[in-house]
Chain A
Amino acid sequence: DADVTQTPRNRITKTGKRIMLECSQTKGHDRMYWYRQDPGLGLQLIYYSFDVKDINKGEISDGYSVSRQAQAKFSLSLESAIPNQTALYFCATRQPGTSRTDTQYFGPGTRLTVL
């Protein structure tokens, strides 16, 4: 089984709809992240969480909200989806340590299309 899973993998929705993207991990990492990827713009950080009670805004948090339900679960919500939120969304986990253990692992991604 994959260490970091995302649901759904693909989603098509309409402008104005509320949508939630979910992320679960079995790696036991405290830190979880949501990124958005648009062609030519790399990976942009939306929100990140260092533990259940610690949630922080990233570079492009406007229009998004998150919930850290448990150490293993981190959800991203779009309260009222708009077309320019069409993108590929990645969840990631990380457990900083020495150079041998400080690795950020990405989920498989959710392709979201807002019509």
Chain B
Amino acid sequence: QQPVQSPQAVILREGEDAVINCSSSKALYSVHWYRQKHGEAPVFLMILLKGGEQKGHEKISASFNEKKQQSSLYLTASQLSYSGTYFCGTDRLPAIRSSNTGKLIFGQGTTLQVKP
């Protein structure tokens, strides 16, 4: 039930781009993306509710392919502040597809390190 994230770890130089993927074996209602700095609470980045929707936040954007049950997070022109662990949280469709289950199940995380 836990979504699978890839890659597990990424090392970048400042200014480089990265893509983090999140795949689920279940039909999804929404995908949430979070970033966590070491020892701190996860911080919300964005939510994707509709299939094919792409949202953006500064140089960080994401897409959601509802049919493939996948989401991707795009980090462009990375900055040192982007370092941390990125988690996707999935809220899947229940058997009665009138709404979501109301609980987020998180992937195992992708550790991103940006070097000068």
Contact = CB atoms under 8 A, between A and B. Distances in A.
Contacts, number: 64
Interface string A53-96: 00010110000000000000000000000000000101000101
Interface string B6-48: 0000000000000000000000001010000001111110011
Range, interface on chain B: 20 to 34
Contacts of A96: 100, 102
B97 to A, nearest CB: 15
B49 interface: yes
A100 to B, nearest CB: 9
25 contacts: A33-B103, A33-B104, A40-B108, A40-B109, A42-B2, A42-B106, A43-B42, A43-B87, A43-B89, A44-B106, A48-B102, A58-B103, A59-B2, A88-B39, A90-B42, A94-B104, A96-B102, A99-B30, A99-B50, A102-B30, A102-B32, A102-B47, A103-B44, A104-B44, A106-B43
5 shortest interchain CB distances as A-B pairs: A106-B41, A43-B106, A42-B108, A99-B49, A42-B106
